[in-house]
Chain A
Amino acid sequence: MKESVVSAKKPIKTVIGPIHPALKEPIKFIFEIDGEKVIKVDLAPGHNHRGLEWMATRRNAVQTLYVSERICGICSISHSIAYCRAIEQAADIEVPVRADYLRTIFAEMERIHSHLLWAGVAALELGFDTLFYKAWEVREDLMDLLEYLTGNRVNYGVLQIGGVRRDITPDQHARINKSLLNYTILFDELYDMFLEDTVLRMRCRDTGVLTPEDALKLCTVGPVIRASGIATDVRQDFPYCAYGDLDIKAITPEALAGEVHGDVFDRIIVRLLEVKQSIEIIQQSMKKMPIGPLTNFPKLMVLLNHIKQAEGEGIGRHEAPRGEVFHYIRLAANQESPLVWKVKASTYSNAMSWVKMLEGEQIADIPIIVASVDPCISCTDRVAMVDKGRTSIFTQDDLRRLSRKKTERIRQGLK
Chain B
Amino acid sequence: MFRLPMVPRVLKQLFNKPATNPFPARHLPKSITRFLEKVAAGKAELVLPLEVPEGFRGKIGYNPEGCTACSLCARVCPANAIEVNREEKTVTVYAGHCIQCGQCTEVCPKNNLFMTKEFLTATTDRYSEEMVLT
A65 CB contacts on chain B under 8 angstroms: 78
Given A147-B56, A193-B9, A300-B106, CB of A66 within 8 Å of CB of B4: no
Cross-interface CB contact of B103 among A62, A147, A198, cutoff 8 Å: A62
A192: interface (CB < 8 Å): yes
Given A62-B76, A300-B106, A300-B107, CB of A155 within 8 Å of CB of B99: yes
Q: In B21-57, which residues have CB < 8 Å from any A CB?
A: 52-57
Cross-interface CB contact of B101 among A60, A157, A199, cutoff 8 Å: A157
B79 CB contacts on chain A under 8 angstroms: 66
A64: interface (CB < 8 Å): yes
B115 CB contacts on chain A under 8 angstroms: 151
Interface string of A146-160 (1 = CB under 8 A from B): 011001100101000
A63 to B79, CA, bound (A): 8
Nearest-CB distance from B134 to chain A (Å)?
23
A69 to B57, CA, bound (A): 16
Judging by beta carbons under 8 Å apart, are A199 and B4 in contact?
yes
Interface string of B1-19 (1 = CB under 8 A from A): 1111110011000000001
Nearest-CB distance from B19 to chain A (Å)?
5
B72 CB contacts on chain A under 8 angstroms: 300-301
A59: interface (CB < 8 Å): yes
Cross-interface CB contact of A197 among B3, B56, B101, B103, cutoff 8 Å: B3
Nearest-CB distance from A327 to chain B (Å)?
17
Judging by beta carbons under 8 Å apart, are B78 and A131 in contact?
no
Across the interface, name the chain A residue whose C-beta is closest to B107: A300
A70 CB contacts on chain B under 8 angstroms: 99
A288 to B56, CA, bound (A): 27
A411 to B56, CA, bound (A): 43
Determine chain B's interface SS by DSSP, over half rule.
Answer: loop
Nearest-CB distance from A157 to chain B (Å)?
4
Cross-interface CB contact of A131 among B6, B76, B107, cutoff 8 Å: B6
A94: interface (CB < 8 Å): no
Nearest-CB distance from A119 to chain B (Å)?
14
Nearest-CB distance from B106 to chain A (Å)?
7
A144 to B56, CA, bound (A): 11
B78 CB contacts on chain A under 8 angstroms: 59, 62-67
A157 CB contacts on chain B under 8 angstroms: 57, 100-103
A389 to B16, CA, bound (A): 57
Across the interface, name the chain A residue whose C-beta is closest to B57: A151
Nearest-CB distance from A280 to chain B (Å)?
24
A344 CB contacts on chain B under 8 angstroms: none
Across the interface, name the chain B residue whose C-beta is closest to A58: B80
A301 to B115, CA, bound (A): 21
A398 CB contacts on chain B under 8 angstroms: none
A140 CB contacts on chain B under 8 angstroms: 19
Interface string of A114-143 (1 = CB under 8 A from B): 000000000000000011011001001000
Across the interface, name the chain B residue whose C-beta is closest to A192: B5
A398 to B100, CA, bound (A): 42
Interface string of A195-214 (1 = CB under 8 A from B): 01111000000000000000
Judging by beta carbons under 8 Å apart, are B1 and A197 in contact?
no
Judging by beta carbons under 8 Å apart, are B55 and A197 in contact?
no
B75: interface (CB < 8 Å): yes
Judging by beta carbons under 8 Å apart, are A197 and B76 in contact?
no
